[in-house]
Structure 1
Amino acid sequence: MPLNVGDTAPDFTVKDTNGNTVKLSDYAGQTVVMYFYPKDDTPGCTKEACSFRDNYEQYTSKGIPVFGVSMDDEASHQRFTEKFSLPFPLLADTDGAITKAYDVDGGGYSKRVTYVIGSDGKIAQVFTTIQTDTHATDILQAIGA
């Protein structure tokens, strides 16, 4: 069962696609979108990632960072990013710590769940029913961005 609206978003420190360290606490005061997905370069995950890619400017224009999270490693994330020109970082949760902290562990992979984390560090919205090809626009509409 994913975390609930109003829960404090668990902080984490992890490497992204390019080996940079990402800490959620570095984004305090901002709305953040974190989408968990099962595996790089699979049909549904590719549609979802491309949905965010195609709408990324709308997120950046509102100052909303987007992070994709899966248990794939940095090398897999790099290949996926290059193949589909993804402009946002993918977080390499190789030990499953973030996946477990956010209660989306599917037994060796991340379940498809998206969290909108408010500027107060609390979960503002949870998406568990996801239409992969329109997901990014669905979130923008839901958060009024």
Structure 2
Amino acid sequence: MRKVKPARKLGRTTAHRKATLSNLSTQLLIHKRIETTEAKAKETRKVVEKIITKARKGTHHAQREIFSALRNKEAVQELFEEIVGRIGSRNGGYTRIIKLAPRFGDAAKMAVIELVDFAEAPAAASTAAKQDRAKRVKGSKKAETEKEGGESAE
């Protein structure tokens, strides 16, 4: 009987998928917060959680294994020097995914993935995204009222 594999393919070949997840993981470790599609965020979370758990060991072997996955010295250095020290004794759950409004062009489900201990203001990000969407949507009531308010103020 055929069994379903748990990973998402993301519409890519194996090599392309691994490269995409590696790049997303690298950017998340460097910038602490990235915006991407919901499916990519969920897959990136799996990769990053394993990498951070491995980095908590602090061994040279762990550092080499992580470098082989990320291929970015800056990200590995950031991980071992700053992120691991700040995470401390947290047992998993190093990342948070916040769902956003759909992307304007293709209505893809969007999300922000961030490192938990580095989050600044998660509520402010989602509020800003909603306000931006109201401005972009043609004919929305908020956009029209803001437009009228801006014209009368001039």
- TM-score after normalising by structure 1: 0.26
- TM-score after normalising by structure 2: 0.25
**Which of the pair is proportionally richer in helix?**
2
User: Per chain length, whose mean CA-contact separation is higher, i.e. which structure has more relative contact order (CA < 8 Å, sep 6+)?
Assistant: 1
* Structure with max Cα Rg: 2
**Which of the pair is proportionally richer in strand?**
1
